[in-house]
Structure 1
Amino acid sequence: MKFSIERAALLKAVSQAQAVVERRNTIPILANVLMEAEGDRVRFKATDLDIEVIDSAPAQVERAGGTTVSAVLFHEIVRKLPDGALVQLEEDQAAGRLSVTAGRSHFSLATLAREDFPMMASSDYAANFSCDAPVLRRLFDKTRFAISTEETRYYLNGVYMHVAEAEGGRMLRCVATDGHRLARVDAPLPAGAEEMPGVIVPRKTVDQMRKLLDDDDLQIAVSVSETKIRFATPDITLTSKVIDGTFPDYARVIPSGNTRKLEVDAADFAKAVDRVATVSSERSRAVKLSLDEDRLTLSVNAPDSGAAEEELAVAYGDEKLEIGFNAKYLQEIAAQVDRENAVFMFNGAGDPTLMREGGDESAIYVVMPMRV
């Protein structure tokens, strides 16, 4: 194998691939990236046996072939090469080495045989559809903060993507919860997604897939089966196993009878929570919300460190209410609001609270209160 490639194109392709590789591996080949040169392109493939990413870049291929090298080491080398450099790569099969040359820099890297690189089993996908990058980005960005990190409840360690019935008809819906807060976001159902099985997309897959979605003009091809999900752009294909478990009946925890309505500027609210939470204890992070007519008082009383209080002008016309929350949860939910105003719907001090963005019903959030 022998080819030349622009440093910028090489770095972009290798960055995407190496991010999938686990730093601690008992199987040496899984620490490597597979590169295959053919025609006028080079493909880079990496996997941790649960996720597989394939990226490709244009190159001047003199001799077709393929080999594998340490993904992290190779990425570090390419990252440190000068901008605009033309990188030449040549494999010496007999010596088991890959030579990397750019200008006056030369590296010789150990390789492992491409035949030993594991392939993810192919899958028959039940649904294939296309989705605009901004739509997918919104679905996952607004839900991933609520993914649970508790390994024992593994079925909550991802975003539940499924087809749901809503007032406006059938929707593509993403839901995430950790038992303390919940995020539910809807988007119009793309053509071809009608038969999509509900799947739990793992956190690592969500993080990796998110990197594909920065270009607003991209169309993402999505394929879903009972066991796998695949996201593809013209250059990159990300295939992942889904979590083998049953997502809980989230509809039961979304309150429908909350009548006390608070409307507040989302940015002002998030900043105020951040300020008063400065003195809260690291363990509880509790903030008390005291609601009176058109006034919200946020307060923290931490015996070890001090107290804080801040008042905000809000739109509120219901009975007085005092309710406590984890400050981190409030900040994360307020950060999801794209519109100016956040609308909170309360019932009582011990009941879950509903939040949405202005009059938009397509994204709703639920947060559980805490004693303060």
Structure 2
Amino acid sequence: MKFQLSRRQLLEVLTPIQAIIPARTTLPILHNLKLTAEKGKLLFEATDLDVCLSRSVGATVRSEGSLLVPAKRLYDVVRELPDLEVKVEQTDLTLVVACERSVFKLPAINTEDYPKVPEPAEGDSVKKVRLGVSSLLRAVDKVSFAISTDENRPVLCGLLWQLSEDGMRLVATDGHRLALMWSGFGNSSVRESARGSRERISEKEEAGHYAGDEGVTQVIVPQKALHLLDLVLKPYSGGESEIEVDVFFGESRLGFDLSLPRAGESGNDESVYLSCGLISGVYPEYRSVLPKDNDRIVRVGKDDVARALRRVAIFSDPYSHLVKLSIEPERMSLSASSPQSGEAYDEIECEYVGDGFEIGYNAHYLLEIVKRIDDEEIKMELKSPVDAGIFVPHQQREHEELVYLLMPIRLG
């Protein structure tokens, strides 16, 4: 094996691989990545047996070959190199990495016992959907922050992904908050965007959508796979034209397959394939906790409430992070106090009609919701100091419904 590649390209490939390589494992071979040089391209493969990544890039290949090399050590070497061409050559079971006047020799092993990275599957048991990379990453970001870290409830440690003919829904909850995003595929049923999110949810429930009926796919995706998805696909998002990725929904695995032309000396396409195991179990029935009769409607500027929350939260209790909201017509006051920090009070304008009331929230949880709402105004649908509150954009995007639920903290 002998090839050369720019340090920038090599680092771009090796960085997300570090998120896969296990820190501790009973299979030492998993500390390696599989490196294969073929005509005009390089193939990098890594796995922890649950998450698998395969990535090919165009390169100047002088001779072909394949071997396993310590993933972290190779990454550490490349990260410290100057931004120049890197020359790599195999000598028996040694990988020689050279750049300018620096030379490094890494021990390598043969590839025979390395686990095979699953290929994209086709068949009756596999559903496939093509999504824009930017749209997919945006949807995951809007929801994944609410995933639980409580390993005693494994199904909540992943994101619920429901797929039907007219769209998809992503749901995450940790028991204190819930994030839900519905994204349509552009048909006529999606364009009726004036209705409320709870009305649409109820209507789909009555129609049998997202309840495990025929034609609907439902999977629970682990947090680690979502983090890796963001690392791998983010370089392909935000361009002038939307790059698309094929998503394969299997019975036990989820796959993401992306191919795109990458002009260069080799003229080869660049490809990425990410596969992950799914979390087994039944996701809780989240529809039942979405209130439909919250009649205290408050409209507030996103930037106003975000800035006030950040200021007041400095003085909140370090354990509960409690911030009290006092809401009256045209005025919302925010306050917090703790024996260690002192007291804070802030006041902003709002739109509200009705009797004044107080409600408490975890400031950090509320801020995470506020910063993920794109609209200039946030609509808060509240009921009482002990009932769940709903937070949505004042204006939903076309073909999209974004809903956040947050449980209040009981005020003393």
Question: Please, what TM-score do these two structures have when normalized by structure 2?
Answer: 0.84
Distance (Å, rounded) in 1 between the aligned partners of 2:4 and 2:220: 40
Distance (Å, rounded) in 2 between the aligned partners of 1:19 and 1:304: 38
Counterparts of 1:161-180 in structure 2, within 5 Å, are 161-163=161-163, 170-180=166-176
- Contact kept, 8 Å, 2:54 with 2:117, in 1: the verdict is no
Tell me the alpha carbon deviations over residues 253-310 of structure 1, each in whole angstroms, 9 at most, x when there is no partner.
Answer: 1111101011111121111111111111211111111111111011113234311111
Partner-residue secondary structure (3-state), 1:209: helix
Partner-residue secondary structure (3-state), 1:135: helix
Distance (Å, rounded) in 2 between the aligned partners of 1:208 and 1:279: 35
Counterparts of 1:23-172 in structure 2, within 5 Å, are 23-83=23-83, 85-93=84-92, 96-121=93-118, 126-163=126-163, 170-172=166-168
Partner-residue secondary structure (3-state), 1:142: helix
Partner-residue secondary structure (3-state), 2:78: helix
Distance (Å, rounded) in 1 between the aligned partners of 2:281 and 2:243: 31
- Contact kept, 8 Å, 2:53 with 2:117, in 1: the verdict is no
Relative to structure 2, which stretch is displaced further, 300-309 or 70-79? 300-309
Correspondent of 1:224 among 239, 249, 269: 249
Distance (Å, rounded) in 1 between the aligned partners of 2:215 and 2:62: 45
1:233 aligns with 2:258: yes
The aligned length equals 363
Distance (Å, rounded) in 1 between the aligned partners of 2:21 and 2:48: 6
Aligned residue in 2 for 1:280:
316
1:369 aligns with 2:408: yes
Aligned residue in 1 for 2:183:
187
Relative to structure 2, which stretch is displaced further, 138-147 or 296-305? 296-305
Distance (Å, rounded) in 1 between the aligned partners of 2:308 and 2:361: 14
Partner-residue secondary structure (3-state), 1:55: strand
Distance (Å, rounded) in 2 between the aligned partners of 1:267 and 1:109: 51
Distance (Å, rounded) in 2 between the aligned partners of 1:190 and 1:139: 16
Distance (Å, rounded) in 2 between the aligned partners of 1:188 and 1:16: 30
Aligned residue in 1 for 2:364:
328
- Contact kept, 8 Å, 1:21 with 1:46, in 2: the verdict is yes
Aligned residue in 1 for 2:226:
206
Partner-residue secondary structure (3-state), 1:257: coil
Partner-residue secondary structure (3-state), 2:374: coil
Distance (Å, rounded) in 2 between the aligned partners of 1:199 and 1:265: 36
- Contact kept, 8 Å, 1:100 with 1:106, in 2: the verdict is yes
Larger proportion of strand: 1
Partner-residue secondary structure (3-state), 1:308: strand
Distance (Å, rounded) in 2 between the aligned partners of 1:92 and 1:303: 66
Shift of 1:120: 4.1
Distance (Å, rounded) in 2 between the aligned partners of 1:12 and 1:213: 11
RMSD: 1.8
Distance (Å, rounded) in 2 between the aligned partners of 1:226 and 1:132: 23
Partner-residue secondary structure (3-state), 1:183: strand
Correspondent of 1:344 among 380, 390, 412: 380
- Contact kept, 8 Å, 1:289 with 1:296, in 2: the verdict is yes
Tell me the alpha carbon deviations over residues 201-237 of structure 1, each in whole angstroms, 9 at most, x when there is no partner.
Answer: 1101111111204423210111111211111211211
- Contact kept, 8 Å, 2:52 with 2:118, in 1: the verdict is no
Distance (Å, rounded) in 2 between the aligned partners of 1:284 and 1:28: 42
Shift of 1:196: 5.3
Shift of 1:190: 7.7
Shift of 1:102: 1.4
Distance (Å, rounded) in 2 between the aligned partners of 1:333 and 1:199: 24
Aligned residue in 1 for 2:205:
none
1:249 aligns with 2:285: yes
Shift of 1:23: 2.2
Correspondent of 1:265 among 278, 296, 301: 301
Correspondent of 2:327 among 279, 291, 300: 291
- Contact kept, 8 Å, 2:378 with 2:391, in 1: the verdict is yes
Greater relative contact order, per chain length (Cα 8 Å cut-off, separation 6+): 2
Shift of 1:119: 1.7
Unaligned runs of 5+ in 2: 188-213, 260-270
> What amino acid is aligned across from residue 182 of structure 1 in structure 2?
L
Question: Please, what TM-score do these two structures have when normalized by structure 1?
Answer: 0.93
Distance (Å, rounded) in 1 between the aligned partners of 2:118 and 2:58: 27
Aligned residue in 2 for 1:358:
394
> What amino acid is aligned across from residue 86 of structure 2 in structure 1?
V
Tell me the alpha carbon deviations over residues 300-348 of structure 1, each in whole angstroms, 9 at most, x when there is no partner.
Answer: 1323431111111111112211111111111000011111001100011
> What amino acid is aligned across from residue 291 of structure 1 in structure 2?
I
- Contact kept, 8 Å, 2:118 with 2:275, in 1: the verdict is no
Unaligned runs of 5+ in 1: none
> What amino acid is aligned across from residue 41 of structure 1 in structure 2?
K
> What amino acid is aligned across from residue 227 of structure 2 in structure 1?
D
- Contact kept, 8 Å, 1:17 with 1:55, in 2: the verdict is no
Equivalent pairs: percent with the same residue? 34
Partner-residue secondary structure (3-state), 1:364: strand
